[in-house]
Amino acid sequence: MSSVIPIRSDNASGCQDAPVLIERGQREVFCGLTGIIWLHRKIQDAFFLVVGSRTCAHLIQSAAGVMIFAEPRFGTAIIDERDLAGLADCNDELDKVVGQLLQRRPDIKLLFLVGSCPSEVIKLDLSRAAERLTRQYLPSVRVLNYSGSGIETTFTQGEDACLASLAPTLPQSSDGAARLLVVGTLADVVEDQLGQLLKTMGVAVDFFPPRRSTQLPSVGPGTRFLLAQPFLADTARALESRGAVHLGAPFPLGAEGTTAWLQAAATEFGVSPALFEQTTRAPRQRAEQALSRQRTLLQGKRIFFFPDSQLEIPLARFLHRELGMELVEVGTPYLHRNHMAAELAWLPAGTRLSEGQDVEKQLDRCLADQPDMVVCGLGLANPLEAKGLTTKWAIELVFTPIQGYEQAGDLAGLFSRPLTRRLKLVA
Ligand code: SF4
């Protein structure tokens, strides 16, 4: 069963109040375990122990690639048939696995127990397990838990759940001094670039998640936070409950998005327009030049987004406003109107927005529209390519450093390359 419920509203400003096609049917998305791939690279003393099945282990291993010379910082405690049949005490088994792991890997300071579909089906209470194990292993190791299951979630929610579980453990800021917190996993190179720009403007900034769990930023009523990723609704709520205040802004994609994102911080922290312009001018111009080269290829091309990463709306805004692409449909798994307000205002009026998925119906619309490019998950890419459409894997956009000025050209390149390849194939 599926349903399509269009919501209507007048007085559109960009797409802020535009009607959204809401679909609740069959979905084609990866699960939240996928987030472990980029999270384990970011938090370098953390370990992610999936409590799941062999399927979960295969997913993580094939998505991350198999490391031969280094011990990985993720693994799977397999729930086998005896556990599923209730013949073994899963908690005892889990404690044993964790004990062996921590004994062998003293470098681990933060251990995440990551729930999966199987652990949720057998109702294994990982939050109690995490509390029990934290009592046992603190102060050397903290144990937290979150769900990466694919039941009713999409793959970027794994990061949201992970950071939301970490947020209550952040130290309370004692002095109440205003400080910026950038929230969401960024590649180290991007974090360094954005951090440098903010510091040059005199803005004191921390990043969450940090590179080491022993360097957790403090949070409190003086904290102002900017989201670096658009899929962090629960994390934002957890930070707000600690007194932090969200700064609304577009996301730092492209020259324009990055400027507006930095501007939100600059305005909040009283940076003068002259200092802002002086700090951002050179990298902004470099980004604009890189984009002008890609614009020739992408201008006027029609693009269709299937809902997958939750990056769809900021990407659509960037591709339309900075590269001249036409938006056929912009699908997103979830629409957070507050976090997306600035982005929606920048979409052209009349953009077809959809939330959720009914994959057969969406495929019908896509095939009828015949866009020049489709952004979708891996499962849809091959069938669509076979029908002559050019596709871009949504997951690549999460794995690749795309935020900030210096990455703007590379981000545009991710969209122009498949078109160039298709042109060569048909030539
Ligand atoms: S968590 Fe669920 S959807 Fe993800 S790999 Fe495991 S069984 Fe599959």
Which atom of ligand 1 is closest in space to residue 60's alpha carbon? Answer: 5
Locate 390 and state its tokens: 């050019």
Pocket of ligand 1 (CB under 6 A): 31, 33, 52-53, 55-56, 59, 116-117, 148-150
How many angstroms separate the CA atoms of 318 and 299, rounded?
12
The bridge status of strand 245-246 relative to strand 223-227 is parallel
Distance 116 CA to ligand 1 centre (A): 6
> Phi-psi bin for 218: left (phi > 0), alpha (psi -120 to 50), beta?
beta
Distance 120 CA to ligand 1 centre (A): 10
Distance 38 CA to ligand 1 centre (A): 17
What is the pTM assigned to this prediction?
Answer: 0.92
- Measured by CA distance, the residue closest to atom 2 of ligand 1 is 117
Testing ligand 1's pocket by substitution, the residue of 58, 149, 151, 395 carrying the most ligand atoms inside 8 A of its CB is 149
- What values do phi and psi take at 62, rounded to 5? -75, -30
Q: Which residues pair with residue 305 across a beta bridge? A: 330, 375
pLDDT for the residue 1: 34
- In what helix (H) or strand (E) does residue 49 lie, and over which residues does it extend? strand 46-52
Distance 250 CA to ligand 1 centre (A): 32
Distance 34 CA to ligand 1 centre (A): 10
Distance 104 CA to ligand 1 centre (A): 27
Q: Which residue has the tokens 């210096």?
A: 406
Instruction: Rounding to the nearest 10 degrees, give the CA dihedral for residues 20, 25, 29, 35.
Output: 70
Distance 33 CA to ligand 1 centre (A): 7
pLDDT digits (tens, 9 = 90+) for 145-196: 999 998 778 889 999 999 999 999 999 997 778 999 999 999 999 999 999 9
Residue 208 to residues 157, 199, 232, 277: CA-CA distances in angstroms? Answer: 16, 16, 12, 26
User: Could you state, in chain order, the average pLDDT of each consecutive group of 10 residues for the chain (427 residues)?
Assistant: 36 72 78 92 95 91 65 85 68 93 95 95 92 96 95 89 98 88 97 98 97 96 97 97 97 98 98 98 98 95 96 98 98 94 95 92 96 93 94 91 97 94 75
Angle between helices 273-298 and 254-268 (to 10 degrees): 160
Q: Using alpha carbons, select from 403, 48, 45, 44 the residue that is nearest to residue 259.
A: 403
Q: Which amino acid, 365?
A: R
Which contacts qualify for 335-340: CB closer than 8 Å, 24 or more apart?
Answer: 335/20, 336/230, 336/233, 337/16, 338/248, 339/227, 339/230, 339/232, 339/233, 339/236, 339/246, 339/248, 340/230, 340/313
Residue 245 to residues 167, 182, 262, 357: CA-CA distances in angstroms? Answer: 14, 12, 16, 32
Which atom of ligand 1 is closest in space to residue 149's alpha carbon? Answer: 1
Testing ligand 1's pocket by substitution, the residue of 28, 49, 59, 395 carrying the most ligand atoms inside 8 A of its CB is 59
Which atom of ligand 1 is closest in space to residue 55's alpha carbon? Answer: 5
How many angstroms separate the CA atoms of 236 and 241, rounded?
9
- Residue-by-residue DSSP string for 289-355: HHHHHHHHHHTT-EEEE-SSSS-HHHHHHHHHHHH--EEEEEEES---TTTTHHHHHHSPTT--EEE
How many angstroms separate the CA atoms of 402 and 391, rounded?
18
Q: Which residue has the tokens 């769900």?
A: 147
Distance 398 CA to ligand 1 centre (A): 19
Q: Which amino acid, 258?
A: T
Query: Other C-beta atoms within 10 Å of 54: how many?
Result: 12
pLDDT for the residue 193: 98
